[in-house]
Structure 1
Amino acid sequence: MNNEFSLIINGEKVAGSAGSFDVINPATEAVVTTAPLASVEQLDNAVDSANTAFKTWQHSSDEERSTAMHRIADRIEANADELAEIIVMEQGKPMFLAQAEVGGAVAWTRYNADLEIPVKIIEDSEHKRIEAHHKPLGVVGSITPWNWPLMIAIWHIMPALRTGNTVVCKPSEYTPLNTLRLVEIINEELPAGVVNVVTGHGEIGGAMSAHEGISKIVFTGSTPTGQRIMSSAAGNLKRLTLELGGNDAAIIMPDVNVDAIAEGIFQTSFLNMGQTCACLKRLYVHDDIYDQLTTKLAEIAQAQVVGDGMLAGTTFGPVQNANQFRIVSELVEDAKQQRAIILCGGEALAGNGFFYPPTIVTNISDGTRLVDEEQFGPVLPVIRFTDVEDAVARANSASVGLGGSVWSADIKQAQKIASKLECGTAWINGHAEVLPHAPFGGCKMSGFGVEFGEEGMLEYTLMQVLNINK
């Protein structure tokens, strides 16, 4: 891995004028390297560059954009090993998962490259024709989290490019390296200023939210930060796509085959060590199969190999940062005080690194912090229920509504139950599956707007109606 990382502003590598900051490997707590610390003045320069580039890029043809994006996908593929290594070093996930993240980034880039921007014919009569077109907004500000640093950057950047916008990226200060390298790669294939990247702390994100030169912010992260962005964005009425926190509930009906579903429940609960917005985070299990399923989940958890993601055989990496590690530990300790039963895990591993083993918690219910608050880590509370309507009510009691799921052998009944869940996506016999062609977004305090598919792409556009009198 190259240890030299720079800001990219107007196609040029630039050192951070505010200095630099350390990037920590969560598996060792050692410094991976330093990242450039941008100043607000450098953010202004990046926004100015993006606005200048927009004057030309907005008029590029569909074919030009699509071809350029396929070339970017080729370049990501050519640098896949390096990008995966950076992900493991700064984010902590096992290598196989980092490789899957790079593969997903390539697939999402190609999907967006091939999307068509629709023109809707509203009326075409003898004397009048009305058409609805979609035009780019301008400069899109992308603010990304630390859990999927490459994938989420791709989710933000690619539909913006496809629709003729330009971009200024600000990755999480915990995981800035991958985005810096990604934007460097992108700039090998695009005109200067079309995609820029600045790194730093909350000051830079706050300045982006209020910046008069940015027309839209797309943000993935916590609800409190999303609320601050929404408030700051009022100055120039920025468009917003906010994918915020979730505390996804799943309802497991008594007719399931426990052996058949247990692995799927485990993997969708502990995807990326539970550090995924759409992970299954509250598991409501019918009393008839509660003991059988929790025992099976504990067996799967105990079979995981917890360790450094760079080591062969590791299946389960660390929590990404010290603050999230502390939150996970506090929630488990509180559950213990409430007389919850820890079936497996429940204690941080000794030694360096933010290692917390996959933890299954039973004898717990709503009203406990571990159930009511999003843990965003490797802990799953399992709640017993007997009445499905009660389970639905408890699932809906959260202030957030990103995803939810119902697991049952009776698909029609599962659909009826899933339709009652207050969430943006309801899965049946699955969870946490996001796809490039399926719109994804939340409700309530999980934010608004959708990503992915045609609907997600059009969030980066302004509709202009052409009213033609013949």
Structure 2
Amino acid sequence: MSPSKVSTISWDTFHNTVDGQPRGGKSKHQGVNPATGEKLWEVPIGNQQDVDDAVQAGQKAFVSWSQTSVEKRKEHIQKFCDHYMSYADEMTDLMCKETGKPRQFAEFEVKGVKGFFDHHINLDIPEDRMEDDEKVITTRYTPLGVVGAICPWNFPIILSLGKVVPALLTGNTIILKPSPYTPYTGLKIVELAQDILPPGVVQAIGGDDKLGPMLTQHPGIGKISFTGSIATGKKVMAACASTLKRVTLELGGNDASIVLPDVDIQKTAPELVMGAFQNSGQVCVATKRIYIHEDIYDEMLKAMVEFTKTVKVGAPDSGALLGPIQNEMQYEKVRSFFEDTKNQGYKFAIGEPEQARGKGYFIQPAIIDNPPNDSKIITEEPFGPIVPTQPWSDEEEVIKRANNSNAGLGACVWGKDIERAERIGKRLQAGSVFINSWEKPTPQAFFGGHKESGIGGEWGKDGLKAYCNAHVMHTYKSK
């Protein structure tokens, strides 16, 4: 039975949650609806006292939560899932306002996260056993303590609960820090959790740029799980070094797609476009570079342009496929790629070199036809709806080109010859490689990056170990 709805919940007031209790703050800030430019509700800015209190509450709750049986923890997580899902409609409305996503994609994220709950509830904590004539060696995985989850603004629910659920399952307590650009859904999720979970097990503190360092430097936090940019990830790792706390970093990508000459052009072109422009390009594993075999380059580019012409950009309830850029900072960054492309004289296959700013942060998608290898659009991650294409002829050379990046998060290979596509895919320096699909991470698969795209990883069965210490017991047999 799922819990009945709490009648007192308000969807236009927001607070931090510390030790099971709502907490305001002297300082406040407001998010912005990116589809209208209008300010949203006030949220408190957490301070050092809030962090200290939350860590203390988390440590206290950890004593009993970590000793609660896995089956009992699963029961709590299932009740939490049911309770959350009973508010799916309200959460979808909230997500539309804070992210500007088209309603169908906001709803997909809100409801799709149930897959993360379901997957983890069906997992067992790993345990390995080795025995010989002399001894038994048992490797168990024990929880770390209080986890700090620093979450991004592009998928504020999936990338928050994608940390919360495995942390709880493995016996940790967790403090969620939502992005100041999208604080609302994260704060509400943790508010709902208080109806199900003991105080201190799941807490939330929203704030500004000063809050992250308070978490990363706090000696009472055992692990930081961070999703965000490469630049910020390096700062997080440096801060965590002072206490040697565990750290997982899921950082930016510059994903390459390699298109073989045997593909079905009309079927593949829309998929390439969606891989690049899903969520208005605001995806760490969105396709950022597309390498198309020279034999089909012109025809494929034409088909991609024709499909892109059908892609509508607009507000959540306008029937659009793409929404706005989520915040002004990112909007200006994406515009810099348009400006550089125009200034350098590169060719827009489709897209406007100059885009007039309306009420929201909307940008029409663009495809850049064969810019040079050292161009900004090739070497850097725009995190927006602009993507370059280049022709290739030599397999060895295009693999080298695809790998010529400091990032290594995802990659794709498209081709009817699966054996050839997989052969190429095995040589791509990326944590997740997709054959005949654009990048679609799933809770069933481990997710992490190579090179500067991250340290460690999460999700999948092995992802549980990211929230644990290995605990090895050597038991020698009686003589």
Q: Could you say whether these structures have the same fold, taking a TM-score greater than 0.5 normalized by the shorter chain as the test?
A: yes
Give 1:82 shift: 1.0
Give 1:104 shift: 1.8
- The answer for the alignment partner of 2:46 in structure 1 is 38
1:241-320 superposed matches below 5 A = 241-309=248-316, 311-320=317-326
- Aligned equivalent of 1:325, options 323, 331, 338: 331
> Are the counterparts in 1 of residues 180 and 207 from structure 2 also a CA contact under 8 Å?
yes
Give 1:154 shift: 0.7
> Are the counterparts in 2 of residues 183 and 196 from structure 1 also a CA contact under 8 Å?
yes
1:63-102 superposed matches below 5 A = 63-102=71-110
> Are the counterparts in 2 of residues 339 and 363 from structure 1 also a CA contact under 8 Å?
no
> Are the counterparts in 2 of residues 65 and 113 from structure 1 also a CA contact under 8 Å?
no
Report the Cα distance in structure 2 between the residues aligned to 1:283 and 1:127, rounded to whole angstroms. Answer: 57
1:180-259 superposed matches below 5 A = 180-259=187-266
Give 1:320 shift: 0.6
- The answer for the alignment partner of 1:23 in structure 2 is 31
Report the Cα distance in structure 2 between the residues aligned to 1:208 and 1:350, rounded to whole angstroms. Answer: 37
Give 1:350 shift: 4.2
- The answer for the alignment partner of 1:8 in structure 2 is 17
SS at 2:463 equivalent = helix
> Are the counterparts in 1 of residues 278 and 322 from structure 2 also a CA contact under 8 Å?
no
Find runs of 4+ consecutive structure 1 residues off by over 3 angstroms.
none
> Are the counterparts in 1 of residues 315 and 324 from structure 2 also a CA contact under 8 Å?
yes
Report the Cα distance in structure 2 between the residues aligned to 1:113 and 1:194, rounded to whole angstroms. Answer: 17
- The answer for the alignment partner of 2:63 in structure 1 is 55
Give 1:349 shift: 4.4
- Aligned equivalent of 2:180, options 173, 176, 180: 173
> Are the counterparts in 2 of residues 349 and 355 from structure 1 also a CA contact under 8 Å?
no
> Are the counterparts in 2 of residues 5 and 180 from structure 1 also a CA contact under 8 Å?
yes
Identity %: 37
SS at 2:280 equivalent = coil
Cα offsets for 1:338-368 (capped at 9, x unmatched): 2211122234244210000111111313111
> Are the counterparts in 2 of residues 365 and 384 from structure 1 also a CA contact under 8 Å?
no
Give 1:60 shift: 0.5
Report the AA paired with residue 37 of structure 2: E
Report the Cα distance in structure 1 between the residues aligned to 2:267 and 2:314, rounded to whole angstroms. Answer: 27
Pair 1:329–1:312, CA change in 2 (3 A): closer
Give 1:299 shift: 1.6
- The answer for the alignment partner of 2:423 in structure 1 is 416
Cα offsets for 1:146-191 (capped at 9, x unmatched): 0000010011111000000000111110001010001011121100
Give 1:386 shift: 1.8
Give 1:24 shift: 0.2
- The answer for the alignment partner of 1:446 in structure 2 is 453
> Are the counterparts in 2 of residues 134 and 464 from structure 1 also a CA contact under 8 Å?
yes
- Aligned equivalent of 1:128, options 122, 129, 135: 135
Report the Cα distance in structure 2 between the residues aligned to 1:329 and 1:204, rounded to whole angstroms. Answer: 28
- The answer for the alignment partner of 2:169 in structure 1 is 162
Report the Cα distance in structure 2 between the residues aligned to 1:262 and 1:235, rounded to whole angstroms. Answer: 48
Report the AA paired with residue 64 of structure 2: T
Report the Cα distance in structure 1 between the residues aligned to 2:151 and 2:306, rounded to whole angstroms. Answer: 34
Decide which moves more: 338-347 or 221-230: 338-347
1:118 aligns with 2:126: yes
Q: TM-score, normalised by structure 1?
A: 0.97
Report the Cα distance in structure 2 between the residues aligned to 1:421 and 1:360, rounded to whole angstroms. Answer: 23
Aligned-CA RMSD value? 1.2
Cα offsets for 1:243-295 (capped at 9, x unmatched): 00100011111111111111211111111111000101101111111111111
Give 1:73 shift: 1.1
Give 1:213 shift: 0.5
Report the Cα distance in structure 2 between the residues aligned to 1:197 and 1:79, rounded to whole angstroms. Answer: 19
Report the Cα distance in structure 1 between the residues aligned to 2:267 and 2:121, rounded to whole angstroms. Answer: 37
> Are the counterparts in 1 of residues 177 and 205 from structure 2 also a CA contact under 8 Å?
yes
- The answer for the alignment partner of 1:375 in structure 2 is 382
- The answer for the alignment partner of 1:391 in structure 2 is 398
